[in-house]
C-alpha cells in the first residue's frame, strides 16, 4: 500500500495481494483476545506487538490504518473462514472497507462465507480448503 513511498525505484509494485486469516489491526486483535479468549493470548500478543497502552503504533501502522491513508491499490482479496475463531472476521472486514481499488482496476474481493477457505484457523491451508484457496487465487490472477 505504501510501495511508492518505500520502494519506488527498487522494483515494480506487487500485482495484487491475498490476505488469509490475517491480523490487520492489532488493536482489534487485543480486544478480541480479551473478550473471546479471556486474554489467553495476551503474552504472545505483547511479545509480537508491544503493550497497547504504551504503543500508539498499534493503530497508526496497522494495515487497516495505512490502507485508509494510502493511494488506491489493486487488486486485493481478503479471505476468512467462518470456522476460524482464533482471529475475528472483523479483521478482514475492517481492512476491506478502507481499501481503495486502482482506477479502472479489478475490484477488491472479500470472502468470509467459506467459498475460498474453510475450517479452523490451522486447517485453512490444508486439504480441500487449500484447493479452494488455490482456485480462488487463480481466478483472481486470471481476472
Q: Can you read off the three cell numbers belonging to residue 54? A: 504504551
39-82: per-residue pLDDT in tens? Answer: 877 777 777 767 765 667 777 778 888 888 887 888 899 999 99
Instruction: Of 70, 69, 67, give the one whose Cα is nearest residue 78.
Output: 67
Mean pLDDT computed over 3-22: 77
Give the start-to-end residue ranges of the domains of the chain.
3-23+72-142, 26-61
In the beta sheet, which residues pair with residue 110? 78
How sure is the predictor about 6, in pLDDT bands with cuts at 50, 70 and 90?
low
What's the confidence (pLDDT) of residue 113? 98
Instruction: Of 109, 81, 134, give the one whose Cα is nearest residue 16.
Output: 109
Amino acid at each position: 500500500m505504501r510501495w511508492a513511498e518505500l520502494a519506488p525505484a527498487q522494483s515494480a509494485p506487487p500485482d495484487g495481494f491475498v490476505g488469509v486469516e490475517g491480523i490487520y489491526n492489532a488493536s482489534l486483535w487485543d480486544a478480541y483476545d480479551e473478550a473471546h479468549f479471556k486474554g489467553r493470548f495476551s503474552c504472545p500478543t505483547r511479545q509480537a506487538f508491544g503493550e497497547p497502552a504504551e504503543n500508539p503504533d498499534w493503530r497508526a501502522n496497522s494495515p487497516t490504518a495505512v490502507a485508509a491513508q494510502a493511494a488506491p491499490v489493486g487488486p486485493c482479496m481478503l479471505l476468512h473462514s467462518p470456522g476460524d475463531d482464533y482471529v475475528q472476521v472483523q479483521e478482514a472486514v475492517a481492512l476491506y472497507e478502507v481499501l481503495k481499488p486502482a482506477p479502472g482496476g479489478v475490484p477488491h474481493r472479500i470472502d468470509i462465507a467459506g467459498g475460498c477457505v474453510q475450517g479452523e484457523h490451522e486447517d485453512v491451508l490444508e486439504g480441500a480448503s487449500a484447493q479452494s484457496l488455490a482456485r480462488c487465487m487463480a481466478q483472481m490472477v486470471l481476472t
